[in-house]
Amino acid sequence: MVSKRAHTNYLPTVFTIFGITGDLAKRKLIPAIYHLYCHGLLPEEIHFVGVGRRDLSLGDYGEMIKQSVTYAEGKVDADKLASFAALFSYVEGDIKSPKAYADIGQEIAKRDKDCGHGHQTVFYLAVAPQMFIRIIEHLKEASLTGPCYELGIKGKIVIEKPFGHSVESARQLSEAVMTYADEEQIYRMDHYLGKETVQNILLFRFTNPVINDSWNPEAIDHIQITASEDIGVEDRAGYYDSSGALRDMIQSHCLALATLVMMDEPMSLNSADIHRRKVEMLQTFSLDSNPAESAVRAQYDGYRAIETVAEHSVTETFAAMQLKSSHPRWKDVPIFIRTGKRMAQKETNIAIHFAPCKSDICKAVGIRTEPNVLNIRVQPMEGIGLLLYAKKPGFSIETEQVYMNFTYQTEFTDEQPSPYERLIHDVIIGDQSLFPTTEEVMEQWRIVQPVLDAWSDQALPMHSYAPGEDGPQAAHDLIGQWHDSTWTAGVGKQMNSDAQ
């Protein structure tokens, strides 16, 4: 991991976490913050204020912090863990009550007085989305998000997806948030964007001439994005049944990946330049035709038997789409996206399918080759692989598929930060590059809304698939209409086994 000395813009910080006793805070946030602490990647002057409804003594609260770390890390240094836990204080209160915010204000004021100067403030909303507006409103009314005049910086507010449930709800959420905060104060947390491979996409494209020069419609036939899981909805059934695969994965994660793969080169790696290019690319995306022809939904067998799922649920656990782009570079290159639960394997993969070989040598000697495929593996075994052809050893002229494979785990021996570590660190230093803007979120909802509308009236079929299968046949038919293409399931799996 990068050492603290690599950064110069650390500011004294009070970092407040709403929902500190919840699963997200205990399983993700606290362990991520501990890692940053151990690697010297936190400001020297930082204090964490946890907010929750539980009646906890200071001792019980400190023990909860320690247990969150040890559960994630196993055995840790006791002295270091104790020093880390001492950075946390606790405010018991109802987040609907103004008193809780007065107590938070007192904690911040105490830190300012003890240190003799002001702090930047961060408010992480690790709570249900329906609480976002109420909390932000209370923060504003309690004057907690206003600027720290000594540092010249306003309070930062971190919210977790989902950012709305439809175009209209996303618009209402955005307008309500902007009533109480500016765009520069809002950090929308999408942990996918904190993964190393996702961060590498732009640099991989634009710093390697052999790749950059091939990133065009003459060389690329089509693009596939797969985000599959081999598990079901598990303990998320209550939430998932009101959301579904399209909202849960495609609207946010998958479209964010497509944007990074296809956006124009930004003027710089400055946050504003990157977001400008992202919005420009998203504005070119649309469904290839109507939802009946360009989208598929399905439900895995047994989903409706889950206890907290509605008996006649019409929530999709699988979704696939074919998109097109009006961008001059990409107008003839289709984008296929699919995601699902209880599929054959867990894999998030971007597959760039290049155009077929046109070599006269292949034709002359009767060698048949399939198009090259570049796989950008987001998970598992983050890395990049390229499917090529090479001459098979021996006296005959035969070719065989080979994989050129790079993985972070084998190439870089240094410990890699988790997505939450990277994103929390970026919040602290004020880098918004990896956080979707309001414009991006609204464009993502615009793209999927026609499908949501078409599926809501139940006129289009709900396909089914057996757990452990590679999705429904209708999804294979969808991609098969393009040059008899097939989903690249198995390529990533082969590369993963090679790396191991």
User: CB–CB of 91/49 below 8 Å?
Assistant: yes
346 is in an annotated binding site: yes
- What integer best gives the mean pLDDT of the chain? 88
Burial of 89-128, coded b for 16+ CB within 10 Å and e otherwise, reads: bbbebebeeeebbebbbebbeebbeeeeebbbbbbbbbbe
Same domain for 100 and 221, yes or no, is no
pLDDT of residue 307: 85
Return the percentage of the chain with pLDDT > 90, whole number: 60
Q: Write down which residue in 112, 141, 160 finishes a domain.
A: 160
What confidence tier does 379 reach under pLDDT thresholds 50, 70, 90?
Answer: confident
The answer to whether position 395 is within a domain reads yes
Q: How many residues does the chain have?
A: 500
pLDDT of residue 495: 45
297 is in an annotated binding site: no
Residue by residue, DSSP assigns 85-147 as HTTEEEEE--TTSHHHHHHHHHHHHHHHHHHTS--EEEEEE-S-GGGHHHHHHHHHHTT-SS-
358 is in an annotated binding site: no
The answer to whether position 179 is within a domain reads no
Same domain for 204 and 147, yes or no, is no
Q: What is the mean pLDDT of residues 108-134?
A: 90
Residue 481, pLDDT > 80, answer yes
The answer to whether position 176 is within a domain reads no
Parent domain of 122: 4-160
The tens digit of pLDDT for each residue in 3-35 reads: 444 455 688 999 999 999 999 999 999 999 999
Q: What is the mean pLDDT of residues 360-381?
A: 79
CATH code for the domain of 439: 3.30.360.10
55 three-state secondary structure: coil
342 is in an annotated binding site: no
The answer to whether position 340 is within a domain reads yes
The tens digit of pLDDT for each residue in 226-281 reads: 999 999 887 778 778 888 999 999 999 999 999 999 999 999 988 999 999 999 99
248 is in an annotated binding site: yes
341 is in an annotated binding site: yes
pLDDT of residue 2: 46
The tens digit of pLDDT for each residue in 95-109 reads: 899 999 999 999 999
Handedness of CA 261, 263, 268, 274 (dihedral sign): negative
Domain count, the chain: 2
What confidence tier does 492 reach under pLDDT thresholds 50, 70, 90?
Answer: very low
User: CB–CB of 286/323 below 8 Å?
Assistant: yes
Same domain for 103 and 214, yes or no, is no
CATH code for the domain of 52: 3.40.50.720
pLDDT of residue 390: 79
- The residues annotated with a catalytic role in the active site are 253
Q: Write down which residue in 160, 176, 207 finishes a domain.
A: 160
Quote the DSSP letter at residue 71.
H
CA–CA gap between residue 128 and residue 23 (Å, rounded):
12
